[in-house]
């Protein structure tokens, strides 16, 4: 209860939330709030680096908060790394505007640079997952001088022209290759009222999100209409063993409190044309990454099909050292195989050249 009530406070309060306990391993007094240049509040966890250690910026995906990185926070904070772990736009203690246009990458990356500036961080290492990988890609495209290196988990690099292909064309392509419309769930997420439907069936939604048998997503998440049908029937599935019941309630409560109207905007801009248009502003000379890249493929993630599709994208986009690890895991690889992932990331960071803190 103590953990839950502190989370609620952290979600609604500003800097005063620092006085309340945050869920372990987060240290309550290290949460901060920043009103970024465009006037939106960002809530983030900030651990200063020990001398000589770099700072890592962690970018979570959908539907999540900074709490997704709890195992990495525990691991790297003990080793003296600087950490910046924001709740991204739409989530947790950060602003949750309803206008999808405010979620495009050129704006969100600027917000994150504001956080780096406020913290006096000249260069950071990025570690990203899911939609966070899109944001990491765009940080590399817009602000390459601010980052040492980029790690992508489960979802790889998004090339600047990725969203130029209309959604319908992409869906038909996946249908031709896989036999079903792999990104059909975008359609549901972008539809009016989806936020309330998800909230009304949150247990079922969490069951399929964290399905133990990840093959279930092929029938019950990805195809057009499948996810909505699954949750509106309140279908239940056995839970995964790498998320404790307490961790699950912390995550569910954060999302219940924040709602899904904000988070679903990450899909609306991709299902429509906003992200594709925004990406046209990417400087051509920054399309190819010139810094070390890590890709952690989640071999049993059938939604993002990370191994075959994302690996190609990462390889094609890197003109620097590329480190690839394959994990026998579903989508949530940073939780499911935390020790393996932490150790691989540590080795990669320590081996990356030119780190100057
Ligand atoms: C939390 O951070 C504060 C500020 O750096 C520090 O004084 C305190 O010892 C930390 N608490 C724990 C439990 O590490
Ligand atoms: C945040 O900054 C904007 C201008 O960038 C300002 O108009 C607004 O009042 C600020 N909000 C808070 C809560 O300080
Ligand atoms: C996608 O496939 C559907 C059904 O086969 C077809 O009606 C539609 O025109 C296709 N859309 C595009 C953009 O190719
Ligand atoms: C790739 O990197 C090398 C240096 O490592 C550089 O000389 C070359 O111009 C880069 N190629 C492109 C296409 O950016």
Asked if 86 and 112 count as a contact pair (C-beta separation under 8 A), the reply is yes
Asked if 156 and 311 count as a contact pair (C-beta separation under 8 A), the reply is yes
Phi first, then psi: what are they for 110, rounded to 5°? -60, -40
Q: Report the separation in Å between the CA atom of 21 and the middle of ligand 1, taken as the mean of its atom positions.
A: 11
Please name which ligand lies nearest the alpha carbon of 289.
4
Given the CA of residue 285, which atom of ligand 4 is nearest to it? 14
Given the CA of residue 40, which atom of ligand 2 is nearest to it? 1
Predicted TM-score of the model (pTM): 0.93
With a 6 Å cutoff on the Cβ, whether 30 touches ligand 1 is yes
Beta strands in 123-202 (DSSP E): 124-129, 147-153
Give the pair of three-digit tokens for residue 63. 């539907």
Asked if 70 and 243 count as a contact pair (C-beta separation under 8 A), the reply is no
Q: Report the separation in Å between the CA atom of 42 and the middle of ligand 2, taken as the mean of its atom positions.
A: 12
DSSP code at position 244: -
Going residue by residue through the chain, which has 357 residues, state the pLDDT in tens, using 9 for 90 and above: 334 444 444 444 444 444 457 899 999 999 999 999 999 999 999 999 999 999 999 999 999 999 999 999 999 999 999 999 999 999 999 999 999 999 999 999 999 999 999 999 999 999 999 999 999 999 999 999 999 999 999 999 999 999 999 999 989 998 888 888 899 999 999 999 999 999 999 999 999 999 999 999 999 999 999 999 999 999 999 999 999 999 999 999 999 999 999 999 999 999 999 999 999 999 999 999 999 999 999 999 999 875 667 788 888 899 999 999 999 999 999 999 999 999 999 999 999 855 443
Query: What pLDDT shows up at residue 61?
Result: 98
Angle at 211 between CA 167 and CA 163, to 5 degrees: 15
Given the CA of residue 166, which atom of ligand 3 is nearest to it? 13
User: CA-to-CA distance for 95 and 68, rounded, in angstroms?
Assistant: 18
Domain edges within the chain: 2-351
Q: Report the separation in Å between the CA atom of 82 and the middle of ligand 4, taken as the mean of its atom positions.
A: 30
Given the CA of residue 37, which atom of ligand 2 is nearest to it? 5
Which of 172, 173, 271 should be mutated for ligand 3, with most atoms under 8 A from CB?
A: 172
Given the CA of residue 168, which atom of ligand 3 is nearest to it? 13
Query: What pLDDT shows up at residue 315?
Result: 85
Please name which ligand lies nearest the alpha carbon of 111.
2
With a 6 Å cutoff on the Cβ, whether 5 touches ligand 4 is no
Which of 14, 34, 35, 41 should be mutated for ligand 2, with most atoms under 8 A from CB?
A: 35
Given the CA of residue 30, which atom of ligand 1 is nearest to it? 2
Q: Report the separation in Å between the CA atom of 146 and the middle of ligand 2, taken as the mean of its atom positions.
A: 25
User: CA-to-CA distance for 109 and 150, rounded, in angstroms?
Assistant: 14
Supply the residue whose CA is at minimum distance from atom 9 of ligand 3.
168
With a 6 Å cutoff on the Cβ, whether 29 touches ligand 1 is yes
Cis peptide before 25 (omega within 30 of 0): yes
Which of 166, 168, 224, 271 should be mutated for ligand 3, with most atoms under 8 A from CB?
A: 168
Query: What pLDDT shows up at residue 32?
Result: 98
Supply the residue whose CA is at minimum distance from atom 12 of ligand 3.
169
Supply the residue whose CA is at minimum distance from atom 12 of ligand 4.
319
Which residue's entry shows tokens 């049908």? Answer: 229
Name all residues whose Cβ lies below 6 A of ligand 2.
Answer: 35, 39
The closest of 243, 289, 130, 265 to 189, measured between CA atoms, is 265
Q: Report the separation in Å between the CA atom of 168 and the middle of ligand 3, taken as the mean of its atom positions.
A: 7
CATH of domain 2-351: 3.40.50.1820
């Amino acid at each position: 209860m103590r953990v839950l009530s502190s989370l609620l406070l952290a979600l609604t309060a500003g800097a005063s939330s620092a006085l309340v306990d945050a869920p372990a391993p987060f240290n309550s007094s290290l949460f901060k709030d920043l009103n970024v240049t465009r006037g939106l509040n960002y809530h983030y966890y900030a651990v200063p680096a020990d001398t000589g250690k770099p700072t890592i910026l962690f970018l979570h995906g959908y539907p999540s908060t900074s709490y997704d990185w709890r195992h990495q926070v525990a691991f790297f904070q003990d080793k003296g790394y600087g950490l910046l772990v924001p709740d991204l736009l739409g989530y947790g203690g950060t602003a949750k505007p309803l206008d999808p246009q405010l979620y495009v990458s050129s704006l969100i990356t600027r917000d994150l640079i504001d956080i780096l500036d406020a913290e006096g961080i000249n260069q950071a290492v990025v570690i990203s997952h899911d939609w966070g990988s899109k944001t990491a890609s765009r940080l590399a495209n817009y602000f390459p001088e601010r980052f040492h290196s980029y790690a992508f988990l489960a979802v790889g690099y998004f090339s600047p022209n990725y969203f130029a292909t209309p959604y319908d064309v992409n869906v038909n392509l996946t249908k031709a290759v896989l036999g079903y419309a792999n990104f059909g769930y975008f359609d549901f997420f972008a539809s009016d009222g989806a936020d309330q439907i998800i909230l009304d069936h949150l247990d079922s939604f969490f069951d399929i999100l964290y399905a133990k048998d990840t093959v279930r997503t092929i029938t019950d998440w990805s195809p057009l209409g499948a996810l909505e049908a699954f949750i509106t029937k309140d279908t239940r599935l056995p839970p995964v063993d790498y998320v404790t019941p307490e961790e699950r309630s912390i995550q569910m409560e954060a999302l219940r409190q924040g709602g899904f109207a904000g988070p679903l905007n990450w899909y609306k801009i991709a299902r429509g044309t906003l992200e594709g248009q925004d990406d046209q502003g990417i400087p051509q000379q920054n399309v190819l990454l010139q810094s070390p890249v890590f890709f952690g493929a989640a071999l049993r993630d059938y939604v993002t099909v990370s191994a075959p599709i994302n690996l190609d994208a990462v390889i094609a986009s890197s003109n620097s050292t590329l480190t690839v690890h394959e994990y026998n895991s579903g989508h949530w690889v940073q939780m499911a195989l935390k020790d393996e992932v932490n150790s691989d990331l540590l080795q990669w960071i320590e081996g990356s050249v030119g780190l100057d803190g």
